[in-house]
Each structure stands twice: as structure tokens, then as C-alpha cells.
């Protein structure tokens, strides 16, 4: 009766524990979303919002980002970005994952040391009856402590596979960092030249505004002399107001582009810098076949796709290794009370060592399922590699076409500016001599302003097309396999002006 009652209590406790695990570990949908809503409300409360705003203000005031000033060449902007860009710093953490993968791979070959302790309470001792007398064997209270050392000797090739896979994963993360470096450099160049374009357009608008104001003063003088009408004065004043509005718009665009540049560089928004790198026009011939070969040799995404295929091949080998036997050596030292040899109420130990062979002959189709999945993922990675190569060819071709069109555009806009200047000069002379009208002068001024603006926009398109071609060929960043920290890299030639290139060559 006592034994049955004990088993009933133990069974009830186990059932209660199972019900607790099933009911307590998995929250209901309503309970989960209610908790999530409360967490969101706390996160976006008024106090939390004020804290976030204060943090943003500190960052805006330059407390969290370095404050710089003075002249800023494009090469220096790239150097700041390589050292301070927050997205690039986050990508560098991927290398920490690779280090963790290496440590995990060592576990396949290193020995394992396990310890186990136990206590067993026997409800009833076994009784040995010899006919004339009987006695009990063992003790009700039993203690044990075991230490086991296991050294893998052969695991179907899994130890070597794990080391190779860890190395490939490291290479994959390095190429991911290299791709992010190229991305940051391209964004810095785009932000820099966007700000430079806005700056050049500001100068154009200032020059045009000065000319419009001078013309307005001349029209007012002619009005006093009776050679200009009131309409001519009003028309000239309206043009001055229009150019003032356009100048204000260009200044806003410059501020926005400059803020984007400083953010990409990772420096304070309070930095006062002067852009000194100018647009340069140096057209060069480049064939598609040569550019494509360069892209296949250097693009980070092509290397990442190839490494992903090799990494998945190792995963397939690992899945197949489960069909092979496992061999390991072991040493075990077990302490127990009572003594395992004398059965005395004292501690005793038992040492064992040997070599063990494990060869799973049938594992319920689990291995077959893993091999099938690994083989399917390998084929998927191969298709992604082919798609990446096709994407590279398309981007190189588009970049070459864009660069060629930009070259033709710059040449045509240069001629257009010269024609507009000549026309404006002739009309100003004709207006002073009474040959041309007020309307013709205003139209010529607008045409010259438009021509100058389109010329600078053409130079911006050419410059960015040249940089995008470098990016499409994969030469905007470090060479494949580079493990240098981004802040120790050299700025690529595409982001250095001709003067700096000459200085570096002389050195």
C-alpha cells in the first residue's frame, strides 16, 4: 500500500510538471500580442521619446561624432568614411561571427570532458535467502560521481569538413566587408559630387542674379531717360525676384547634400568644410570584354556567390559523413558510495578506458533527408552564382553605355555654353545700341544660365558614371581576399583628383 501511494505521488508530480511545460512555455496569441503592445507603449512613451530626442540632439551637437573643419578633398572624405561610417562599422562585426565559427569548428576535433553526479534512494533493498539465513544486499542511499574524457579519432571526415567550412565562412565575411567598403565609397562620392553640383549651381545663380540686378538698374536708368517703358522695369524686377528664389532653392539643395555627405562620412553635422575637389573630364576608351574580365576578377558579389557554393558543398559532405562510422577513445573514472567492489559504506572508484566504434546502420531516414536538403541548397547556390555573373555583365554594360552617353553630353554642353555666352554678349551690345529689346536680353540671360546649369549637371553625370563603372568592375575597393581594416586602406584612384595622383606618383 505504501509503495503504491508513493508511485501515485511521483506520477502526479510528473504529470503536473509536464502540464506546466506545455502550458507555461508557449503563450497564447492574445497574451503575446497584449504583452507586445505594452512593450511598444513603454518604448514610445513620452519619457522614452524625450530621451531619444536628447540623444539625437547630442549627436547633432557633435558629442558623439568628430567635428572637422577646413578644406575637404574627396579623398579625405573617403578616408573619414572608411574610419567612421556607422554602417561599415556594423558590417565589421561580421568578422566576429567568423571567429566564433572557427572556435565552433575546433570542437569537432578537441576532446570533451563531462562530469555527472547522482543520488539514488532505494525504496527497498534486495534480500538474498540462503535457506538457513537471509541478508540484504546494498544500501538505501547511493551516491555516484563520474568523470568521462572522450577524444574523437574519426567522425566520417566531419572534423576536417568543419575546419574547411569555418575558413570558407571567414572568407565569405571578408568579401561581405569588401563589398560594404565599395558601397560606402560610392555613396561618399555620390554625396560629395551632389554637394559640389549644388555649389556650382549656386555660383551660376549668383552670377546670373548679379547680371539681372545690373540689367534692372540699367532699365531703371533708361526709364528715367524715357527710353524704357514701365513694363520693361517691372519685367526686369520680376526676373531679379525669380533668380533670387532659384538661388535660395539651390542653397537648400546644397545644405541637404552636404548633410548627407557628413552623415556618410560619420562626422558631426556641425562640421564646417569647404569642398575643394572639382569636376574633371578625362574621357578614356574601355572595351566591354576587358571591363567584364576585370569584373569577374574583382567583384565582391561574384566572390561571395562562389564561396557560398563551396560552403554549401562542405555542408553536403558533412551530411554524407553521417553514413560513416565514428571512432573515439575514452577514459572514465567513476566514484560511488557504497564501494562498487567491496559494497562497504565508503567511497570507491572504478577506472575504465578504451576505444569505441559507432556505426549507425539505420537512422529513420533522417540522414537521407539531410542529404537531399543539402543537395537542393547546393543547386540553389549554383543558380544564384550564375545569376550573379549575369547581373555583373548587365551592370558593366549599362555602366559603359552610361559613361559613353555622359561623355557625349559633356562635349555637347561645352559647345552649348560657348554659344550661349556669345549670343548673350551680342545681345548686350545690341541692346546698348538700341537694336535688341528688353525681352531678348532676358531670354539670352535665361538661356546662358540654363546652359551653364546643364553643363555642370553633365559633368556630374559623367563623374558618377565613371565611378559607377569602377564599382561595377569591383575595383572601387580593396583587392579580393583583403583582410585589412577599412581605415588602413588606400583611397582608390577614381576618388583622387589628378593633382593628388601626381603627388603620390612623385613620392
Range from 134-143, 234-243, 250-259 carrying the lowest mean pLDDT: 134-143
Q: What is the CATH number of the domain that holds 103?
A: 1.20.1600.10
| Distance (Å, whole) CA 180 – CA 186 | 10
| Distance (Å, whole) CA 243 – CA 11 | 90
DSSP 216-237: HHHHHHHHHHTSS-HHHHHHHH
Beta bridge partners of residue 326, listed in sequence order: 358
Q: Which three cell numbers stand for residue 135?
A: 541478508
Same domain, 122 and 206: no
Same domain, 188 and 315: yes
| Distance (Å, whole) CA 256 – CA 454 | 20
What's the domain range around 427? 71-108+157-324+366-506
108-154 per-position pLDDT tens digit: 888 899 999 998 887 777 776 776 777 676 777 888 899 999 988 88
Residue 35 inside a domain? The answer is no
Predicted TM-score (pTM) of this structure:
0.76
At residue 45, the pLDDT reads 59
168-226 per-position pLDDT tens digit: 888 888 899 999 999 999 999 999 999 999 998 888 888 878 878 887 888 888 888 87
Cβ atoms of 474 and 295 closer than 8 Å: yes
Pairing, β 272-275 against β 69-72: parallel
What residues contact 359, with CB distance under 8 A and at least 6 apart? 324, 325, 326
Judged by DSSP in three states, 1 sits in: coil
Same domain, 146 and 242: no
Residue 338: is the preceding peptide bond cis (ω within 30°)? Answer: yes
* 136 exposure class (CB count in 10 Å sphere: 0-12, 13-18, 19+): exposed
Residue 340 inside a domain? The answer is yes
Half-sphere exposure of 332 (CA within 13 A, CB side): 17
Same domain, 392 and 244: yes
| Distance (Å, whole) CA 243 – CA 232 | 17
Same domain, 161 and 267: yes
Judged by DSSP in three states, 484 sits in: coil
- Max CA separation in the chain (angstroms): 151
At residue 398, the pLDDT reads 95
Amino acid at each position: 500500500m505504501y509503495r503504491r501511494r508513493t508511485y501515485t505521488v511521483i506520477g502526479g508530480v510528473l504529470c503536473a510538471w509536464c502540464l506546466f511545460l506545455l502550458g507555461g512555455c508557449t503563450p497564447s496569441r492574445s497574451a503575446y500580442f497584449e504583452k507586445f503592445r505594452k512593450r511598444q507603449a513603454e518604448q514610445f512613451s513620452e519619457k522614452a521619446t524625450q530621451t531619444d530626442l536628447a540623444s539625437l540632439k547630442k549627436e547633432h551637437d557633435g558629442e558623439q561624432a568628430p567635428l572637422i573643419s577646413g578644406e575637404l578633398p574627396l579623398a579625405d572624405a573617403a578616408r573619414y568614411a572608411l574610419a567612421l561610417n556607422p554602417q561599415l562599422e556594423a558590417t565589421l562585426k561580421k568578422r566576429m561571427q567568423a571567429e566564433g565559427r572557427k572556435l565552433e569548428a575546433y570542437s569537432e576535433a578537441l576532446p570533451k570532458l563531462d562530469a555527472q553526479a547522482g543520488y539514488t534512494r532505494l525504496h527497498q533493498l534486495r534480500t538474498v535467502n540462503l535457506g538457513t539465513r537471509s541478508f540484504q544486499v546494498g544500501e538505501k542511499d547511493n551516491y555516484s560521481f563520474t568523470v568521462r574524457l572522450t577524444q574523437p579519432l574519426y567522425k566520417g571526415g566531419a572534423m576536417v569538413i568543419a575546419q574547411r567550412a569555418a575558413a570558407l565562412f571567414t572568407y565569405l565575411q571578408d568579401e561581405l566587408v569588401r563589398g560594404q567598403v565599395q558601397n560606402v565609397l560610392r555613396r561618399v562620392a555620390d554625396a560629395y559630387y551632389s554637394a559640389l553640383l549644388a555649389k556650382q549651381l549656386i555660383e551660376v545663380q549668383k552670377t546670373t542674379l548679379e547680371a539681372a540686378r545690373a540689367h534692372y538698374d540699367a532699365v531703371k536708368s533708361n526709364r528715367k531717360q524715357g527710353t524704357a517703358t514701365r513694363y520693361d522695369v517691372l519685367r526686369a524686377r520680376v526676373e531679379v525676384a525669380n533668380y533670387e528664389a532659384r538661388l535660395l532653392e539651390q542653397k537648400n539643395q546644397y545644405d541637404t547634400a552636404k548633410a548627407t555627405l557628413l552623415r556618410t562620412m560619420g562626422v558631426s553635422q556641425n562640421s564646417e568644410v569647404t569642398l575643394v575637389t572639382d569636376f574633371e573630364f578625362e574621357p578614356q576608351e574601355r572595351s566591354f570584354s576587358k571591363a567584364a574580365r576585370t569584373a569577374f576578377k574583382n567583384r565582391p558579389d561574384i566572390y561571395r556567390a562562389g564561396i557560398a557554393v563551396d560552403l554549401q558543398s562542405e555542408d553536403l559532405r558533412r551530411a554524407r559523413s553521417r553514413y560513416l562510422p565514428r571512432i573515439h577513445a575514452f577514459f572514465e573514472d567513476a566514484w560511488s558510495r557504497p564501494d562498487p567492489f567491496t559494497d562497504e559504506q565508503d567511497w570507491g572508484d572504478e577506472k575504465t578506458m578504451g576505444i569505441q566504434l559507432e556505426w549507425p546502420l539505420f537512422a529513420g531516414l533522417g540522414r537521407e533527408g539531410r542529404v537531399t536538403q543539402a543537395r537542393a541548397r547546393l543547386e540553389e547556390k549554383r543558380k544564384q552564382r550564375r545569376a550573379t555573373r549575369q547581373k555583373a555583365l548587365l551592370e558593366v554594360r549599362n555602366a559603359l553605355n552610361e559613361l559613353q552617353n555622359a561623355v557625349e553630353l559633356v562635349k555637347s554642353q561645352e559647345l552649348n555654353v560657348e554659344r550661349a555666352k556669345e549670343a548673350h554678349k551680342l545681345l548686350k551690345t545690341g541692346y546698348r545700341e538700341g537694336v535688341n529689346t528688353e525681352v531678348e536680353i532676358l531670354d539670352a540671360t535665361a538661356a546662358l544660365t540654363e546652359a551653364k546649369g546643364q553643363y555642370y549637371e553633365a559633368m556630374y553625370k559623367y563623374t558618377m558614371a565613371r565611378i559607377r563603372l569602377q564599382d561595377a568592375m569591383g575595383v572601387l575597393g580593396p583587392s579580393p581576399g583583403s583582410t585589412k581594416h577599412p581605415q588602413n586602406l588606400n583611397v582608390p584612384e577614381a576618388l583622387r583628383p589628378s593633382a593628388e595622383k601626381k603627388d603620390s606618383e612623385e613620392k
